[in-house]
Amino acid sequence: MSPDDYLVAAERYCEARGSKLTALRRQVLALVLSQPGVVKAYQVLADLQRERGAAAPPTVYRALDFLVEQGLLHRVDALNGFIVCPHFECAHEGLILVCERCGLVEEADATNSLDMLHQAAAERGFAPRRQNLVLTGTCKECHA
């Protein structure tokens, strides 16, 4: 899906959920879409400031939080950044594969595999929050 098609679909998706993809939120999403791989909030802030002039960090963080809440982005805590969710609002826990050479990011459904980790945590009385697991390494292209 092209970035323009993604933005149109995201706008429709938000409307269907009773939310609004405001001009600022749309611009932040477009900036994330324009970057390959994991995107840092400060990158988005710098790009937004170049395009709009003055933009405060809380503005960007609120927009990013909204996009995560809507299921359009995933927060990748381990890498302190964000990635685009290609299919909106994942109902699964993902395995995020990040190539350390080219920056390619892929997402895979790892719900069944992560069940063992959740079970081990539960046996110890620990209740983990829902999150994605990040693995770094080299993609097929870079490995070849």
DSSP state for residue 87 in the 8-state scheme: T
Question: How many CA atoms within 13 Å lie on the side-chain side of 94?
Answer: 24
Q: Which residues contact 41 (CB under 8 A, 6 or more apart)?
A: 57, 60, 61, 64, 81, 82
Is 14 annotated as ligand-binding? no
- 96: which 2 tokens? 């995020």
Is 139 annotated as ligand-binding? yes
Is 85 annotated as ligand-binding? no
Q: In whole angstroms, what is the distance from residue 29 CA to residue 50 CA?
A: 15
The owner of tokens 């945590």 is 121
Burial of 73 (0-12, 13-18, 19+ CB in 10 A): buried
Is 90 annotated as ligand-binding? no
Residue ranges of the annotated binding site are 99, 102, 139, 142
Residue ranges of the annotated binding site for Zn(2+) are 99, 102, 139, 142
